[in-house]
Amino acid sequence: MIDKVTSIFNIMICINLESHNPFFNLAVDEYLLKNRKEDFLVIGINDTSVIIGKHQIAHRETETGFVTEYNIPVIRRISGGGTVYHDRGNINYSFIINSESGKQIDFRKYTLPVISFLSSVGADAKFEGKNDLIIDGFKISGNAEHVFRNRVLHHGTLLFDADLDLLKGSIRKDTTGYSSRAVVSNPSPAANLKDKLKNIGDVDEFRSVMINWFLKNMKDAELCELSGEETISTELLAESKYRTWEWNYGYGPEYRFFKTFEISGLPHKCRLLVKDGIIQDCSIEGSDEMATIGKKLTGCRHMVPDLAELLRKEKSSITDNDVFNFF
């Protein structure tokens, strides 16, 4: 198995990220993919965040009220696929590899080293579906890929001791109010590796064991860090892209939203058309007040603070919580 795994890579540079900043850490993947030529393995741990696929709708994939209440950032990555949850109990790994044209998208190939590592610590993981790793019927890893010229970025998660309650609360369960051609996630029951690995105490130990395994078993692997200049360039990328509303919410296919709800004891129906994150058309039925407000929502960003501000300016009678009826 090890020989088959090591044959995937040339000389590999391992980077053990000290940063827990998800904006910066996602930018690291893109920077190394597009500005370096070597093969990389990047391992890191992010602060609490929800990471959506490149072609997804942020509000459809996340429970907008929940992530707002808990101040959980929603960040778009450059790879496709579905939505994943990150926190300090979750390991993130990225393979950034030079690859032969036409053979770059291969989830089984690039999850093979991770499966081999997990086997070495006593976890019998299997590849199932399109891009998941499963143990005893529970998902412990989601994976996604992105191709840039002759290079492929394959990155994934490993749930070790994540807050599964926050994970479940962050991901939207009922998406029927949204209609779009955007990629839809396929939620699966999740579990933590900590429950399977009695000999590894915490996520930091798990990361250390993982790094050491790859350094030992990958061909000529060496541990390196980003240079000061590379760190500055990555921070600029994080600031100009991964922290922006335009990328995280404005990017992606247009969508329609429909919902029925009550305001002040009266039933209402709301229909929205959203393109580039901006409400292009809105109609609200149920009361004259809300019908008037609906007309004024056109041109507004489909975001909680924007809608809340407009409702305040209109001196609307609806409560602060009512704004979540529009998501």
Give the pLDDT score at 1: 52
Of 112-116, 135-139, 297-301, 313-317, the range with the lowest mean pLDDT is 313-317
Backbone angles phi, psi at 143, to 5 degrees: -135, 155
- Say which DSSP state 59 is in: H
What residue ranges do the domains of the chain occupy? 2-250, 255-326
Q: Does residue 252 have a pLDDT over 90?
A: no
The pLDDT tens digits for 49-86 are: 999 999 999 999 999 999 999 999 999 999 999 999 99
Does this model's pTM top 0.85? My answer is yes
CATH 3.30.390.50 is held by the domain 255-326:
yes
Q: 255-326: same fold as 2-250? A: no
Backbone angles phi, psi at 280, to 5 degrees: -90, -30
Q: Does residue 232 have a pLDDT over 70?
A: yes
With CA atoms as reference, report the closest residue to 296 among 276, 311, 285.
311
Q: Does residue 11 have a pLDDT over 70?
A: no
CATH 3.30.930.10 is held by the domain 2-250:
yes
User: Could you tell me which residue, 12 or 257, shows the higher pLDDT?
Assistant: 257
**Taking residues 149-166, what's their average pLDDT?**
96
- Say which DSSP state 47 is in: P
The pLDDT tens digits for 203-223 are: 999 999 999 999 998 878 999
Query: What's the mean per-residue pLDDT of the chain?
Result: 93
* Model confidence band, residue 8 (pLDDT cutoffs 50, 70, 90): low
Give the chain's count of helices (H) and strands (E). 11, 15
For residues 288 and 291, give the distance between their C-alpha atoms in angstroms, rounded to a whole number.
5
User: Could you tell me which residue, 256 or 7, shows the higher pLDDT?
Assistant: 256
DSSP string, 192-259: -GGGT-TT--SHHHHHHHHHHHHHHHSTT-EEE---HHHHHHHHHHIIIIIT-HIIIIISS--EEEEE
For residues 194 and 211, give the distance between their C-alpha atoms in angstroms, rounded to a whole number.
17
Backbone angles phi, psi at 122, to 5 degrees: 95, 15
Q: Does residue 154 have a pLDDT over 70?
A: yes
For residues 94 and 141, give the distance between their C-alpha atoms in angstroms, rounded to a whole number.
12
For residues 37 and 51, give the distance between their C-alpha atoms in angstroms, rounded to a whole number.
26
Query: How many of the other CB atoms lie within 10 Å of CB of 182?
Result: 19
* Model confidence band, residue 183 (pLDDT cutoffs 50, 70, 90): confident
Q: Which residues contact 95 (CB under 8 A, 6 or more apart)?
A: 9, 39, 40, 41, 110, 113, 152, 153, 154, 155
Give the pLDDT score at 4: 56
